[in-house]
Amino acid sequence: MKLHRVLALVLRHLYLYKRSLARFMEVFYFPLLDILLWGFLTIYLQRFPGAVPGAVSFLLGALILWDILYRSQQGISLSFLEEVWSRNLLNLFVSPLTAGEFLAATMVLSLIKLGLTAVVTIALAWALYGYNFFLIGLALVPFVANLIVLGWSIGIVTTAIILRFGQKAEVMAWGLAFLFQPFSAVFYPVSVFPPGVREAAWFVPASHVFEGMRSVIAGGGFPLAHLAWAGGLNAVYLMLALAWFYSTFRVVRERGLLLRVGE
């Protein structure tokens, strides 16, 4: 892997944002809208008798963490689609750029976008609702790392699907992550699931992260067991996602299907 090729692709995508308001809106618009809508809704619900104590912390913490996962996935999927839409995919892969270098560049891009979005949403949550995201403490570091890795795994799988089936599958770039959301226990505990679904939910790494987050906010200790499960599952899923991507890329290249990806 050559670092200069990875950085060149990162710079190419960053230059696209220089004079594009629409691309900046893609990074900031929906996260800001979510913070505003869910934050004010939670404040309203807390006025009623029997409201859950600390509901703002539970909900806004979950919302910011979910956005970390989603932006990590989008950083990979949309970077790939950008090359498809601009008919540049074939040009990239007839160059010395490898599939691994392409993935590395999209991961770097996802971290840059994620960082920009997180700064704004965390600042807005503090300014409007007095919510300090960093009160989660040291557990925040492995929480965020696990969600980023899961987002990358979903993004790699999404990219492999689009690579194999072309633009007709591009809806997966927006929809696949949300397939996991109901089973990730983002806004509610795993205990609300019926038997069978409850056990299956524990195989989603995000469910361990969000359960751990709620435990920390409620005053529990460091959720070592949840983090160990999340880390182990993420390692397995990332390896499977990479194996599928490389296998798909090899098949597509051997069959000359790269020309059809943009169709």
pLDDT band for position 130 (cuts 50, 70, 90): confident
Mean pLDDT of 37-53: 70
Q: Give residue 39's identity as a one-letter amino acid code.
A: G
d(C-alpha 232, C-alpha 205), whole Å: 8
147 confidence band (pLDDT: 50, 70, 90)? very high
> What percent of the chain has a predicted confidence (pLDDT) above 90?
33
Number of domains in the chain: 1
Least Cα distance to 146 among 233, 231, 235 occurs for: 231
The amino acid present at 142, given as its one-letter code, is P
Residues in the chain: 263
Q: CA dist 32 to 26, 78, 188, Å?
A: 11, 19, 22
Among residues 91, 109, 107, the alpha carbon closest in space to that of 26 is found at 109
Would you state the pLDDT for residue 72? 93
| pLDDT of the residue at 256 | 75
| Tens-place pLDDT, residues 196-231 | 899 999 999 999 999 998 888 877 778 889 999 999
Full domain range(s) for residue 252: 3-260
pLDDT at 48: 64
Q: Is the pLDDT of residue 263 over 80?
A: no
Of the segments 3-17, 124-138, 236-250, which one has the largest average pLDDT value? 236-250
- Render pLDDT for 157-199 as a digit per residue (tens, 0 to 9): 999 998 888 778 888 888 888 888 989 989 888 989 999 899 9
Torsion of CA 146, 127, 35, 190, to 10 degrees: 50
* pLDDT, tens only, 81-102: 888 888 888 788 888 888 899 9
Q: Which of 3-12, 55-64, 233-242 has the lowest mean pLDDT?
A: 55-64
Average pLDDT, rounded, for the chain? 86
Task: Quickly state the pLDDT bin for 51 (edges 50, 70, 90).
Answer: low
Question: Which pTM was predicted?
Answer: 0.91
Please state the separation of Cα 92 from the chain's center in Å: 25
pLDDT of residue 190: 92
Q: What is the pLDDT of residue 230?
A: 95
Which among 203, 160, 208, 154 has a CA at the least distance from the CA of 179? Answer: 154
Of residues 28 and 197, more confidently modeled: 197
